[in-house]
């Protein structure tokens, strides 16, 4: 999970567990595919397989929404699509602003998965004056000076931050002050927000690091098979905990991200 809520101790919204909410979009996607193939009904078993989850889990998830199935038959696809869409708030239009139109921001602006699910890119915002007015994915970039005006005029409540890490918190503060209450953060920083504001983060680097951990473990298991499972626990630690300071490097990554410092 590249994700993780920030703050807010598992709000358990209207009795719907957070874990269930996170799976509803998965079910919706599978159901939409079935709908396009004109499949009238699905069993929990089939749908669970399509969504990549356990069937018992799926049934319990749906039970939080109500009793929308028919015993002995399954679930009506169209009806379920509607119910989940309504529950997720996808029956209304959500204007979204994207702040920071670099490589990633531009890619997000052109991402088809947004518009297809009721999310409308209301504006692209960047701090670089050279970008202002230039169309990206058919939408002209606006300058960040107008951020507050754009948010309030369009009634935007969801903001996407795709800026360098260094300015993410400032951008976040301005978005929140202007009325945004949900933020999707792509910058590799921890954002602090007041209560009532939801933050979800997507960090590509973190995902890769988690994969690397498991990858290393797999490799270690093979190699460790000959010398016992307890190998590799102390593979030459460089110095004792109170190591002498080496003086911090000042290299900065291209997007304002900080590189990992690897002693020795």
Partner DNA sequence: CCATCTTTGTGCACGCGTTCACAAAGACAT
Partner DNA sequence: ATGTCTTTGTGAACGCGTGCACAAAGATGG
Q: Shortest Cβ distance from residue 139 to its own copies (Å)?
A: 14
Are the beta carbons of 110 and 137 closer than 8 angstroms? yes
Residue 243: which residues within 8 A CB-CB, separation 6 or more?
263
- What DSSP element (H or E) covers 75? strand 74-76
The two three-digit tokens of residue 118, written as one number: 């009721």
Q: Which is nearer to DNA, 105 or 201 (CB)?
A: 201
Closest CA to 139 of 111, 166, 110: 110
Q: Shortest Cβ distance from residue 96 to DNA (Å)?
A: 26
Partner that binds at residue 57, options its own copies, DNA, none, CB closer than 5 to 8 Å by kind: DNA
Q: Which is nearer to its own copies, 146 or 215 (CB)?
A: 215
Closest CA to 65 of 28, 96, 37, 34: 28
Partner that binds at residue 63, options its own copies, DNA, none, CB closer than 5 to 8 Å by kind: DNA
Q: Of residues 200-229, which lie at the interface with DNA (CB under 7 A)?
A: none
Measured CA to CA in angstroms, residue 95 lies from 131, 175, 195 at distances of: 22, 14, 22
Q: Of residues 55-74, which lie at the interface with DNA (CB under 7 A)?
A: 55-57, 59-60, 62-63, 67-74
Q: Which is nearer to DNA, 46 or 255 (CB)?
A: 46
Q: Which residues bind DNA (CB under 7 A)?
A: 9-10, 12, 17-20, 42-45, 53-57, 59-60, 62-63, 67-75
């Amino acid at each position: 999970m590249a994700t993780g809520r920030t703050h807010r101790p598992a709000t358990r919204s209207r009795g719907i567990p957070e874990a269930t909410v996170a799976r509803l979009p998965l079910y919706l996607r599978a159901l939409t595919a079935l709908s396009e193939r004109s499949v009238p009904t699905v069993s929990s078993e089939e749908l669970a397989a399509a969504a990549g989850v356990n069937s018992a889990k799926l049934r319990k998830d749906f039970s939080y929404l109500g009793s929308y199935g028919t015993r002995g038959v399954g679930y009506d696809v169209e009806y379920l699509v509607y119910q989940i869409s309504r529950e997720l708030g996808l029956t209304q239009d959500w204007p979204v602003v994207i702040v920071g139109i670099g490589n990633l921001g531009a890619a997000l602006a052109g991402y088809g998965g947004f518009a297809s699910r009721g999310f409308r890119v209301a504006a692209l915002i960047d701090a670089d004056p050279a970008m202002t007015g230039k169309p990206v994915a058919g939408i002209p970039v606006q300058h960040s000076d107008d951020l507050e005006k754009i948010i309030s005029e369009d009634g935007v409540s969801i903001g996407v931050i795709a800026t360098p890490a260094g300015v993410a918190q400032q951008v976040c503060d301005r978005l929140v002050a202007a009325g945004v209450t949900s933020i999707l953060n792509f910058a590799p920083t921890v954002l602090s927000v007041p209560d009532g504001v939801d933050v979800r983060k997507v960090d590509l680097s973190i995902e890769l690091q988690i994969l690397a951990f498991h990858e290393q473990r797999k490799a270690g298991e093979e190699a460790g098979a000959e010398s016992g499972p307890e190998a590799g626990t102390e593979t030459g630690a460089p110095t004792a905990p109170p190591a002498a300071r080496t003086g911090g490097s000042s290299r900065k990554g291209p997007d304002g991200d900080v590189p990992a410092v690897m002693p020795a």
